[in-house]
């Protein structure tokens, strides 16, 4: 499943936050993958503040960082290719 442009009835869960970057990533039906993603993120020195399941088969990670670009890059290098993200509004 690809991350698609969302229509009015399927609102994008990425809502800009003043202080926290966010990553939306496809996890498929494997819930155990969330822990693997969390370990990768925390291995970069970024703490995960919140994880929210977003049907169907997506997870939203709220980070204690203002910039998510390095996290997205490393996740894509680890094979997670269906990623969207947004930086904090105040960088």
Cα Rg of the chain, angstroms: 12
39: left (phi over 0), alpha (psi -120 to 50) or beta: alpha
Please, what is the average pLDDT of the chain? 88
Does residue 58 lie within any of the structural domains? yes
Burial 80-91 (b: 16+ CB within 10 A, else e): beebbbbbbeee
54: left (phi over 0), alpha (psi -120 to 50) or beta: beta
- Residue-number span of the structural domain to which 52 is assigned: 27-86
Does residue 14 lie within any of the structural domains? no
Does residue 67 lie within any of the structural domains? yes
Q: Give residue 90's pLDDT.
A: 85
Does residue 63 lie within any of the structural domains? yes
Residue 5 pLDDT exceeds 60: no
Does residue 4 lie within any of the structural domains? no
Q: Is 74 exposed, middle or buried (0-12, 13-18, 19+ CB in 10 A)?
A: middle
The number of domains in the chain is: 1
Model's pTM, two decimal places?
Answer: 0.84
């Amino acid at each position: 499943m690809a991350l698609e442009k969302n229509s009015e009835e399927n609102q994008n869960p990425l809502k800009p936050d003043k202080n926290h970057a966010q990553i939306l990533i496809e996890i498929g039906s494997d819930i155990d993958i969330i822990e693997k993603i969390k370990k990768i993120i925390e291995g970069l020195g970024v703490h995960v503040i919140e994880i929210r399941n977003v049907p169907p088969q997506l997870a939203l990670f709220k980070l204690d960082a203002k910039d998510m670009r390095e996290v997205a890059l490393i996740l894509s290098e680890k094979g997670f290719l269906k990623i969207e993200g947004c930086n904090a509004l105040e960088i």
